[in-house]
Structures are given as structure tokens and as C-alpha cells.
Amino acid sequence: MSPASPAVPDSSPTPPDDFRTAAHAAADLVADYLAGLPGRPVWQPMGPADRTSLLEAPLPEDGVPLAGLLDFVGTRVMPAPMGNGNPRFFGWVNSAPAPAGVLATLAASAMNPSSAGGDHADVHLERAVVRWIAELVGFPHPAGGGLLTSGTSMATIVCLAAARNRAARRAGWDVREDGLAGMPPLVAYATGETHSCVRKAAELLGLGSKHLRTVPSGPEGQLDTDALRAAVARDRADGLLPFLVVASAGTVGTGAVDAFDPIADLCAEQELWLHVDGAYGAFGVLDPAIAHRYAGLERADSLALDPHKWLGVPVDCGCALVRDTDELRGTFSLVPSYLRDEAAGSLGWFSEYGMEQTRPFRSLKVWATIAHRGRQGISDDIARCTALARRLGELVEADPELELLAPVQTSIVAFRHRAAGLDEAAVNAVNRELPVAVQLRGRVFVTGALLGGREMLRACLLNAATTEDDLELLLAEVRAAAAGLTERPAGA
């Protein structure tokens, strides 16, 4: 006789009424947080004690009631935000969360599906919102031609993997079966301003970063197609396999948009896959004032873009769009027997189109964000951001202490401080320290980058709640922080 198993312990689920009470309190906490953002410092460093209390938080032995969790979140977590909800945040490419998306996040996590596939609302909603995203930016969308991802870094891996497989197959190799070993190297082309996620993807996909050629760009940051043509010819003559061009619909440094039509012409002629990184800037096409810059975007083979940037969909949410569905599915589809699903329909599962198996319910926050504003509302917000950026560019140009470093093409303004009498090295040194000096003052938040060897500030405008007064304040803060740096005794 086998021994009796120990008794199954009682379960102690959270009582529904406790959840309801806490959820109401959470709604107030979040609403107060969002309403209070403009009135608080944009960012401030966490005090050492607060930091330590998070870093060294002990693993709780016994549970805490929901109300206690809210107290911790309200008093210890929410007072130390990154700052990107504030209209005076101009850093990196991080937007304020769209309120409709915030609400949707609660419902999505209450349902908590895995959007890998199957026949449930989240899966069908994802197909709809991927099509909406494609329609918003004017990219062709065959059924199954895309999926939501964690961000553009992952979307880039998805798109470049499809590009790699197509190129290898055309050269007589099955990369999925044989790997890349023994094949002539595949070569990709991008400008020096291309986001680092492209290089990461190239490395990860076994292409090797030395086979990601840096193509020069012209004075406005656009990829130089004559140089591209010459580089492709050189590589072919050397027995290599050019296969991919990465263009940008808004570079992270200056917001430059490539001239897609000539690049697409060259790609068609040379049988190269054209991928566009539209992470930050693809939605700029919705602004009638700059839509012309995007002519030819729709000719790309793939486009990676981020609803979690300019649309304000709460992080995380990227999107990969691929013109040829078969290339995408052919790259990723692998259906083990435990996942066979006769009811999935001809498109199969999302997990056949990308890396993730268990996938979060991202589509509800995208749906809510787009449905709440509508195409017109989104276009208006984007047009306001680009107009603010142009205004900021004018303010910079009118200020003798400041220098605009690139034309304002989308909603990023690249500039630097240039105090009279400083040589280039000293100007660089000041601008290197300036972003943090501005941040520490707490009134605005801006970040920096290198552009052609020059240290600069870059202000990224993604928040339609930003005002022209906020722009004046940004420049006043830059001037004040620069004065603190240039007037301080040497070595201090």
C-alpha cells in the first residue's frame, strides 16, 4: 500500500471585495499621480536611504494586505519617477503614458492571456491594431504581416532575421538547418547615425558587426545613395553578399529622415532588403507639414516602430511590420506537438512570427490609445510636437550662447551651448557635463549625445502637453547650468 499523500493545504485567495476596495484606491493614487506630475520636479536623484531601502528590501516572510502594497507604491515608488510623464521632460525618446493606455493595462493584466495564439479576444485585437499601426504610417499590410514586440530592438531582430533568411535562401543556403558557417558573408549597410539596436541585431544574428558597413550621410543626415551604391559594388567584387540596407525614419540623434525613394530604387535594382527603423519617427508621417519627408517609406520590405514612443502607449510596445508574410513566418514558425491548434486558422499563432512564445496582452493598450484619440487626434498631437520642435530650433538660433547643430526635421532639436571665448575642446567639455547639470536642477530634463565628434544636447518633443513657456524654460535652464559650469574654478 502506498503511503497517503499529505493533506492538500487550504487556499487563501484574495477576497473580491478586498480587491475592489484596493482597486478604487489604486485608481485614485494613479489619478493623483498623473495630475500632480506637472507641479513636481521633473526628476530628482533618490536619496541614499530611499535607494538602500529598495535595494536591500528583505524578502517578506508573510504577506501584506493589498492596502499595504498601495501604501508602499504611493510613498516609496511613485515619488521617484524617471520623469517622462512631465511636459518638461525632453530626454532620450521616452514619452508620457497615454491615460487610455494606462487604464487598459489594468484590464489586460486582469485577463492575463498569453497572446501567443488561439481564439481569444487579445489575439484578434492584436491583428486589428497591427493593421491600424500599418494604416497610420501608410505601410502595406497583408494579413499576418506583423506583430507587436517589446520594442524596436526586438522588432529589428525579427525583421533582420527574415531578411537574412531570404538572402541566404536565394544564395542556396538554409540558415535554419545549416547555420551561416561556410556561407560567403552577408553584408548590411547603414549610416553612422543608425540606432545601436541594428548593430546588436546584426551581431546576434551571426552577421558580424564588421559586415555592417557604415555608409556616409549628407549634411542633413540622410544616407548617401551614391556612397551606398559604391560600397555594394565593392563588396560584390570582393565575393561578399550584400543583402540589407537599414534606413531611418527619424534618427535618434537629430531626428533625420532618410530619402526613401532613391534608397528603395537602389534596393530594388540590387535585390537588397530595405529595412526602415521608424522606432521614434515613423509616426511623424501623420503631420501634414512633414509628411513629404516620408515619401517611399511604403516601399520598404520591413519597418520597425514603437507605439511606446510617440503614441505614448505605456511601455512596452514595439511593432514589426513585414511586407512578405511568408518570409516572416518561414523564419520563425516552429510548432511543437503540444502547441498544435487546428482552430488557429490559416494565419496560425503569433509565436510563429517572432521570438516570444508566451506573449503579453499588449494590444489592449494600443487599441485604447489609438481608439481614444482617433487618427485625427494623434495627428494633431504629432503636429503640435513638430511645431514645438521647430519653435525650439528658432529660439536656439536666436540665442547667441546656443548653436543649432542640425536642421529640425521631426521633433528632435540637436544643439549645444557655446560660451564666447571657449575653444572647441572647452565647448565639448561643457556640453558633456551639461545634461546632468540641467537634470539636477530639477526643472527640466534633457539628455546629450555625440554628433560627429561634438558633444550636444538633444531635446526630444513627444508630449503634446508641453508649452512654448516650457521651451523658454528649457533654454533658460541650459544657460543657467552652463554658467555654473563655465564659471566654476578650474578642477572643481
Q: Give the interface with ligand PLP as residue ranges (CB under 6 A).
A: 93, 151-153, 195, 197, 250, 252, 277, 279-280, 306, 318
Shortest Å, Cβ 160 to ligand PLP: 12
Measured distance CA(446)–CA(415) in Å, rounded: 11
Nearer residue to ligand PLP within complex by CB, 250 or 284: 250
Q: Which single residue brings its beta carbon nearest to ligand PLP? A: 151
Give the residue carrying C-alpha cell 497610420: 136
Measured distance CA(430)–CA(483) in Å, rounded: 10
Query: Residues 6 or more apart from 61 whose CB is under 8 A from it?
Result: none
Nearer residue to ligand PLP within complex by CB, 439 or 443: 439
Q: Which three cell numbers stand for residue 415?
A: 544643439
Measured distance CA(71)–CA(418) in Å, rounded: 47
Nearer residue to ligand PLP within complex by CB, 85 or 318: 318
Shortest Å, Cβ 385 to ligand PLP: 15
Shortest Å, Cβ 179 to ligand PLP: 26
Nearer residue to ligand PLP within complex by CB, 197 or 464: 197
Q: What are phi and psi of 63, to 5 degrees?
A: -75, 165
Shortest Å, Cβ 314 to ligand PLP: 13
Shortest Å, Cβ 70 to ligand PLP: 30
Shortest Å, Cβ 84 to ligand PLP: 12
Shortest Å, Cβ 398 to ligand PLP: 28
Q: What end-to-end distance do the CA atoms of the chain give, in Å?
A: 81
- Give which of 226, 207, 208, 206 is closest to 216, Cα–Cα: 226
Nearer residue to ligand PLP within complex by CB, 117 or 448: 448
Shortest Å, Cβ 140 to ligand PLP: 21
Q: What are phi and psi of 246, to 5 degrees?
A: -110, 120
Shortest Å, Cβ 188 to ligand PLP: 15
Contact 350, 123 (CB under 8 A): yes
Shortest Å, Cβ 312 to ligand PLP: 14
Query: Residues 6 or more apart from 336 whose CB is under 8 A from it?
Result: none
Contact 335, 298 (CB under 8 A): no
Give the residue carrying C-alpha cell 520642435: 389
Nearer residue to ligand PLP within complex by CB, 450 or 480: 450
Nearer residue to ligand PLP within complex by CB, 319 or 392: 319
Nearer residue to ligand PLP within complex by CB, 105 or 150: 150
Shortest Å, Cβ 458 to ligand PLP: 11
Q: What are phi and psi of 352, to 5 degrees?
A: -90, 0
Contact 328, 349 (CB under 8 A): no
Beta strand 241-248 pairing with 273-278 = parallel
Nearer residue to ligand PLP within complex by CB, 43 or 280: 280
Nearer residue to ligand PLP within complex by CB, 173 or 260: 260
Nearer residue to ligand PLP within complex by CB, 250 or 360: 250
Shortest Å, Cβ 318 to ligand PLP: 5
Nearer residue to ligand PLP within complex by CB, 194 or 466: 194
Measured distance CA(458)–CA(233) in Å, rounded: 36
